[in-house]
Amino acid sequence: MPANNDIGLALVLGATSDIGRAIALGLAREGCDLQLAGRDPARLKAEADDIRVRTGVAVTEHACDVLNADGGAGLAEALDPCPDVAVCVVGLLGDQQASERDGSAAQLVMWTNYVGPALLMGALAARFEARGSGVLAGVSSVAGDRGRATNYVYGSAKAGFTAFLSGLRNRLAASGAHVVTVKPGFVRTRMTEGMRLPGPLTGAPEEVARAVVEAIRRRRDVVYVRRVWRAIMLAIRLVPERLFKRLRI
């Protein structure tokens, strides 16, 4: 990252999602030029054009699909210039019951939330490590803190991504590069549309975006959005297994 603590050039992976768009706009308002990546060229162009008009920053568009065999790592290796910051907000909630019935549905959730993003972030990490600077931020989920009957396929994938980011942070600690893990709780987005969400515990994409930008600037390690989720998930993790098996949460 630039020595004056400006974030510099930022890559947003999954930029056409509600949270991705909010993060991109938040970074642009900080004065960052942007590289937006996603798999829908038309939507990506629309988002890029909107951000250019709103903020005046330079924005480039990049095709990327984490469902490719390399998880999109080819993009990470080809980007020129290499970004100072990369934020991965790629994800898919899926349907738990469908995942239980259909292995291909479960595989899609697992690949979209863990395998693809991990391969992509790993490729970016190699470039950041070689350069000796930069911040990688991965948006995981509180769902990964403990497997629960209602969403354990999604939760298991997010748990894998959380563990991957933790290991990557440990690996890069001496290199000058840094890794941030962001764990939102409920967020009102297209992905959660139609779900009954608890108002006091439910955030907005803009709230996640503010947390991400602050975490990048401060080089935080693990951030919960909202903060109350740290205490909630600690309590859930501490429930003894013999009691936890009786719960449906």
- Here the CATH number for the domain that contains residue 115 is 3.40.50.720
Closest alpha carbon to 92 in 44, 149, 22, 143: 143
Q: What is the pLDDT of residues 122-173, one digit of tens each?
A: 999 999 999 999 999 999 999 999 999 999 999 999 999 999 999 999 999 9
The question of whether 114 is a catalytic residue gets the answer: no
Instruction: Report the alpha-carbon distance of residue 232 to residue 43 in Å, rounded.
Output: 36
Report if residue 1 sits inside a domain. no
Report if residue 249 sits inside a domain. no
Q: Is the peptide bond before 226 cis (omega within 30 degrees of 0)?
A: yes
Looking at the structure of the chain, the number of domains it has is: 1
User: With left for phi above 0 and alpha for psi between -120 and 50, is residue 139 left, alpha or beta?
Assistant: beta
Q: pLDDT class for 3, splitting at 50, 70, 90? A: very low
User: How many other β-carbons are positioned within 10 Å of the β-carbon of residue 97?
Assistant: 11
Report if residue 3 sits inside a domain. no
pLDDT at 2 over 80: no
Report if residue 5 sits inside a domain. no
Report if residue 88 sits inside a domain. yes
Closest alpha carbon to 209 in 47, 73, 22, 41: 22
Q: What is the pLDDT of residues 212-224, one digit of tens each?
A: 999 999 999 999 9
Six-digit token string for 220 = 């935080």
Six-digit token string for 240 = 């003894």
Q: What is the dihedral of CA 176, 114, 143, 140, to 10 degrees?
A: 30
Given CA atoms 234, 241, 161, 205 in this order, what sign does their dihedral have?
Answer: negative
Report if residue 85 sits inside a domain. yes
What domain range is 48 assigned to? Answer: 10-244
Who contacts 209 (Cβ-Cβ below 8 Å, separation ≥6)? 19, 22, 23, 25, 26
Report if residue 176 sits inside a domain. yes
Report if residue 100 sits inside a domain. yes
User: How many other β-carbons are positioned within 10 Å of the β-carbon of residue 45?
Assistant: 15
Instruction: Report the alpha-carbon distance of residue 216 to residue 38 in Å, rounded.
Output: 21
Helix (H) / strand (E) element for 88: namely strand 85-88
pLDDT at 103 over 70: yes
CB 188 within 8 A of CB 202: yes
pLDDT at 5 over 50: no
Strand partners, 138: 88, 181
